[in-house]
Amino acid sequence: MGMLGDELARVIHRKRRGSRFTQAELGDKIGTSGSYISGLENGKSSPRISELEDMAACFRTTAFEMIQEAIRTGERFVAVTETTGDGLDAIAADLSLEHRRLAREFLLFLRERERVDGVVPD
């Protein structure tokens, strides 16, 4: 996993502990297992965006804020050389600062739309 993934794993761990959830409790809240949460925290797996959003809701933040925290901690993105999917490292490696800002605004828009309209984006 690249630097962003490693830092995101640390953010998930810190947020979970700060919220006083066990891995099993957090897994139950987002519809996965405690062992899956352990894999995320150990950097063995990358969360899907939907899982990251669900975790963020449990932590009373946004997925974008968690990614931003990982970025600030890691201080930079690492270029992705080989990617086997659309993990967060691959997505984030291509974003400029302006695109990150737009992504944040879009995520906030979707959350507000879901709250107001009861619409769940696909």
- Per-residue pLDDT of 92-101, as tens digits, reads 667 777 777 7
- Measure the CA–CA gap between 27 and 55, rounded to whole angstroms: 9
In the chain, domain spans: 3-114
- Measure the CA–CA gap between 122 and 119, rounded to whole angstroms: 9
pLDDT of 48 strictly over 60:
yes
Q: Assign 74 a pLDDT band (cuts: 50, 70, 90).
A: low
What is the reported pTM? 0.60
Average confidence (pLDDT) over 114-121? 63
Average confidence (pLDDT) over 73-102? 59
What does CATH list as the number for 3-114? Answer: 1.10.260.40
